[in-house]
């Protein structure tokens, strides 16, 4: 085995990915060819790894790092430096050479590395503040290659970037969260550790992490937390039962140690949401009880009349199940705790009435994946590698959905090349018979007028046709909606992929009438996708709920561009659960033949 250098400081995959991605952007600003894309791809691959990149290095050195898709010798050496020292001289030099806040400016839609470079050189734009000043002074409109229209767009983009960015994309923080939980679990005296708050409810974005622990030695777990959590940037508070730190890339993490006897009540309280808490506290009152983070208590006799009700005997607190039962409610899954009807439903169910809490889809319920890209276009891996990875996750079928020709950047397929791809799919299917079924599909571009990027003869021959908007994001609402509805009305079109086009913290959804889209889906029998990529989470929870209520079927897809990406399906399931979707609402939770039978043709 190749022995690597000693690891002095732990660095998370998210931090490594962030630094590599920024290097790509710095290089693009310097008009370097090819390398920017290579760094961006590696950043994405590292972000999707399940194993810690430091562990990969410890296990097999540079050689093992090179097995990460896209990693060659020089990037492997950068990663080595990062995982062994926590810093990278090359990155620091690039940063020094360009005194520009790339992290801020890159969040403005329409601003790429090259335009940022130009704005810096010509107008001295360094961050959002100086960008806003230049735009308001009309300086950008006068700049060659920009114009009044792009200035207006930049101003809109600044407003969006300012509002965003304060919250983190939750799914992208999941691996790091689990790592923190795992480390705390190993500390002596600790019997329970769980993340609460918006992360436990699997909201698409989180403000911070709230972790609860039960421990016989609270000081020890606090000490380890503030000293040994990887990527720590600052200790905000270090107390006996509550501590707070900031970890890369700037996320606050709170840890609270609670008694075993109040663990369930604390978990309910800190899982929230605030609105759910308010609703169940009201329910407690109506039952003559009082609820707080220490437990559910009887009200001490006589105390209510004097104003502040005093706690009497504790009736529940050790487990969440106990708390809900004592509130005369059936158990409520964390993903449902938003006070959007779940409190009433759980109370009805406890009383034996209907409708109760919905039987939402489970984390192990998916049987297939209807959106998978390969190295035929912008994916990193072959059809066979993707099929094997999907089979290893227990999926029984996948649909290969490479891009179409209008997406030249992604080497989209035309009618001739997609037919060549079918031959390879047939061959791989033969080799993998019994392990998984690979279906022929497409992620076909919706053109400006709602027509499609492949001819009808080709579409007719595909097993599953998915369509997407990848251009003309700025059309007015009526036109955008009509364009998409026209595409959905094509009798070959089975699924609308990532229906609103948002990229959390980067791009607002395009302006579209979602109620009209849902109506059109119902009328035309088109499936609406829940794209599980954490930065997409598109459809979002609220729209999923609308589909459930309208009886519109959905799929939960990985949108995988590499074999490691199938892990995001879990995130899509979480969003479906937040939208009250049952297994029956999700077509790829069905057996292959049932799923196929539900398609248009």
- 266-295: contacts with ligand DGT (CB under 6 A): 269-270, 272-274, 277-278
Residue 49: C-alpha distances to residues 53, 375, 500 (Å): 8, 18, 27
Q: Which residue is nearest to Zn ion (CB)?
A: 468
3-state secondary structure at position 197: helix
Per CB under 5 A, which region of 90-98, 237-245, 252-260, 550-558 contacts Ca ion?
252-260
Give min distance, CB of 265 to ligand DGT, in A: 12
Name the residue among 328, 293, 292, 296 with its Cα closest to residue 312. 296
How far apart are the C-alpha atoms of 6 and 120, rounded to whole Å? 40
Give the contacts of 289 (CB within 8 A, at least 6 positions apart).
296, 297, 298, 299, 315, 326, 327
Q: Mask of contacts with ligand DGT, 216-255, x by CB under 6 A?
A: ----------------------------------------
Evaluate whether 164 touches 247 at the Cβ level (below 8 Å).
no
Our finding on whether 500 is near Zn ion (CB under 5 A) is: no
Task: Specify the residue, 210 or 570, whose C-beta has the smaller distance to ligand DGT.
Answer: 210
Please identify which residue in 151, 204, 210, 559 interacts with ligand DGT, judged by CB under 6 A. Answer: 210
Give min distance, CB of 276 to ligand DGT, in A: 8
Task: Specify the residue, 201 or 248, whose C-beta has the smaller distance to ligand DGT.
Answer: 201
Our finding on whether 205 is near Zn ion (CB under 5 A) is: no
Task: Specify the residue, 184 or 496, whose C-beta has the smaller distance to Zn ion.
Answer: 496
Could you write out the DSSP letters of every residue in 515-538? Answer: HHHHHHHHHHTPEEEEE--TTT-B
Task: Specify the residue, 207 or 261, whose C-beta has the smaller distance to ligand DGT.
Answer: 207
Give min distance, CB of 340 to ligand DGT, in A: 14
Please identify which residue in 117, 271, 373, 468 interacts with Zn ion, judged by CB under 5 A. Answer: 468
Task: Specify the residue, 146 or 225, whose C-beta has the smaller distance to Ca ion.
Answer: 225
Other Cβ atoms within 10 Å of 485 Cβ, number: 21
**Choosing among Ca ion, ligand DGT, Zn ion, none, which partner's interface includes residue 468 (Cβ < 5 to 8 Å by kind)?**
Zn ion
**Choosing among Zn ion, ligand DGT, Ca ion, none, which partner's interface includes residue 272 (Cβ < 5 to 8 Å by kind)?**
ligand DGT
**Can you read off the two tokens belonging to residue 314?**
């504790």
Please identify which residue in 128, 206, 346, 360 interacts with ligand DGT, judged by CB under 6 A. Answer: 206
Give the H or E element holding residue 5.
Answer: none
Beta bridge partners of 297: 290, 314
Which burial class, exposed, middle or buried, applies to 593 when counting CB atoms under 10 A from its CB (0-12, 13-18, 19+)? exposed
Q: Which residues of 398-416 are buried (b: 16+ CB within 10 A; e: fewer)?
A: bbbbbbbbbbeebebbeee
Per CB under 5 A, which region of 52-60, 165-173, 206-214, 390-398 contacts Ca ion?
206-214
Other Cβ atoms within 10 Å of 590 Cβ, number: 19
Our finding on whether 334 is near Ca ion (CB under 5 A) is: no
Q: Contact residues for ligand DGT (CB under 6 A)?
A: 197-198, 203, 206-208, 210, 269-270, 272-274, 277-278
């Amino acid at each position: 085995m190749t022995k690597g250098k000693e690891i002095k400081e732990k660095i998370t995959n998210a931090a490594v990915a962030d630094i590599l991605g920024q290097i790509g952007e710095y290089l693009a600003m310097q008009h370097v060819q090819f390398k920017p894309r290579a760094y961006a791809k590696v950043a994405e691959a590292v972000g999707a790894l399940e194993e810690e990149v430091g562990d990969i290095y410890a296990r097999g050195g540079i050689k093992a790092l090179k097995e990460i898709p896209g990693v060659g010798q020089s990037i492997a050496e950068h990663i080595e430096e990062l995982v062994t020292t926590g810093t990278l001289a090359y990155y620091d030099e690039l940063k020094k050479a360009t005194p520009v806040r790339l992290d801020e400016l890159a969040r403005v839609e329409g601003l790429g590395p090259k335009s940022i470079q130009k704005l810096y050189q010509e107008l001295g734009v360094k961050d959002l503040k100086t960008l806003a000043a230049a735009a308001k002074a009309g300086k950008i409109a006068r700049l060659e290659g920009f114009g009044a229209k792009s200035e207006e767009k930049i101003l809109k983009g600044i407003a969006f970037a300012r509002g965003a960015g304060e919250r983190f994309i939750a799914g992208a923080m999941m691996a790091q969260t689990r790592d923190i939980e795992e480390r705390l679990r190993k500390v002596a005296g600790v019997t329970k550790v769980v993340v609460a708050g918006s992360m436990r409810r699997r909201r698409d974005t989180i403000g911070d992490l709230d972790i609860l622990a039960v421990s016989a030695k609270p000081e020890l777990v606090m000490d380890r937390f503030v000293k040994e959590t990887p990527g720590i940037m600052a200790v905000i508070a270090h107390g006996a039962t509550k501590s707070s730190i900031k970890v890369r890339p700037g996320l606050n993490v709170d840890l609270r140690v609670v008694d075993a006897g109040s663990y369930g009540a604390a978990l309910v309280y800190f899982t929230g949401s605030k609105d759910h808490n308010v609703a169940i506290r009201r329910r407690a009152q109506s039952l003559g009880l009082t609820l707080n983070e220490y437990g559910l208590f009887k009200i001490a006799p006589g105390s209510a009349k004097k104003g502040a009700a005093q706690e009497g005997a504790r009736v529940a607190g050790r487990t969440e199940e106990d708390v809900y039962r004592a509130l005369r409610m059936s158990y409520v899954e964390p993903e449902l705790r938003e006070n959007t009807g779940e409190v009433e439903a759980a109370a009805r169910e406890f009383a034996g009435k209907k409708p109760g809490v919905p039987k939402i889809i489970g984390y192990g319920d998916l049987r297939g994946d209807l959106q998978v890209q390969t190295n035929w276009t912008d994916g990193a891996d072959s059809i066979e590698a993707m099929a094997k990875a999907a089979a290893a996750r227990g999926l029984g079928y996948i649909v290969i959905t490479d891009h179409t020709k209008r997406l030249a950047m992604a080497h989209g397929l035309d009618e001739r090349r997609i037919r060549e791809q079918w031959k390879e799919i047939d061959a791989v299917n033969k080799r993998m018979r019994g392990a998984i079924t690979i279906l022929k599909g497409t992620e076909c571009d919706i053109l400006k007028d709602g027509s499609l990027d492949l001819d009808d003869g080709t579409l007719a021959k595909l097993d599953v046709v998915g369509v997407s908007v990848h251009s003309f994001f700025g059309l007015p609402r009526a036109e955008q909606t009509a364009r998409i509805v026209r595409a959905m009305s094509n009798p070959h079109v089975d699924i609308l992929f990532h229906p609103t086009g948002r990229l959390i913290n980067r791009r607002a959804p395009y302006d579209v009438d979602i109620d009209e889209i849902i109506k059109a889906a119902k009328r035309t029998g088109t499936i609406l996708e829940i794209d599980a990529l954490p930065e997409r989470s598109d459809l979002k929870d609220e729209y999923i709920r609308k589909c459930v209520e309208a009886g519109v079927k959905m799929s939960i897809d990985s949108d995988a561009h590499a074999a490691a990406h199938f892990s995001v399906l879990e995130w899509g399931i979480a969003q479906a659960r937040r939208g009250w979707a049952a297994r029956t609402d999700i077509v790829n939770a069905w057996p292959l033949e049932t799923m196929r039978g539900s398609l248009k043709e």
